[in-house]
Structure formats: structure tokens, C-alpha cells
Amino acid sequence: AQTVTQSQPEMSVQEAETVTLSCTYDTSESDYYLFWYKQPPSRQMILVIRQEAYKQQNATENRFSVNFQKAAKSFSLKISDSQLGDAAMYFCAYRSPNSGYSTLTFGKGTMLLVSP
């Protein structure tokens, strides 16, 4: 079974600064999908960014980018020019293409605090 590890329970960043959230995963599969989801307090989880393992190019979505290191099984999220609205719990998630029900396996999350 796949596992996802987020080793940083909490991270802090100041507005306009850059922060990197770490994620590692364990899998024996060669093809899979990775996601970062954001969960603001008392609000629904929303997708931040996704990466297909067969793509070597790192995904980028505006201020959000990933550093995908397939051999190291690492998938970190970089947030540039941090904003107060970025404060939330961030979850890294893995999906196997081989699972019949294609569910997500989540890490425990990293709480991001943003200060003015």
C-alpha cells in the first residue's frame, strides 16, 4: 500500500515571502498521480496543483509550483509571494492509476501560518 508522509506539522511564512512544504511518498508503481490540496479552516478542500508521474516537467500554477523528484519519491510544494489567504492546512495526496476505485491517499497535512 502506498503511504504519504508530510514531516512538517506546521510552517510559518511572512507575507510576500516564499515557503516550501515537503512531501514524500512510498510506492512500487512507476505511474501515478500526485496532488496538493488546500483546506482553509471550516471550508472545503480545494486542489492547488497536480502532477503526473510520467511528466518530467514540474507543474506550475501561478504562485504555486512543485519540485517533483521521482527517484527520491519527493513532491514538495513551493508557494511564492505568500498571501494571507494562503493560510490553511495543506495536504499532499497520491493516486494510483491501477486501483479500481482510484482513491486518494493523503498525508497528515501541514498547517501553513501566514503573518503580515
Interaction site with other proteins (CB under 8 A): 4, 9, 33, 35, 37, 42-47, 50, 52, 91, 93, 95, 97, 100-109
- Residue 9 or 116: the one with the smaller Cβ distance to other proteins is 9
**DSSP calls for the chain:** --EEE---SEEEEETT--EEE--EEE-S-SS-EEEEEEE-TTS--EEEEEEETT--SPPEETTEEEEEETTTTEEEEEE-S--GGG-EEEEEEEE-TT-TT--EEE---EEEEEE-
Least distance to other proteins from the beta carbon of 65, Å?
17
- Residue 13 or 49: the one with the smaller Cβ distance to other proteins is 49
- Residue 17 or 52: the one with the smaller Cβ distance to other proteins is 52
Least distance to other proteins from the beta carbon of 72, Å?
21
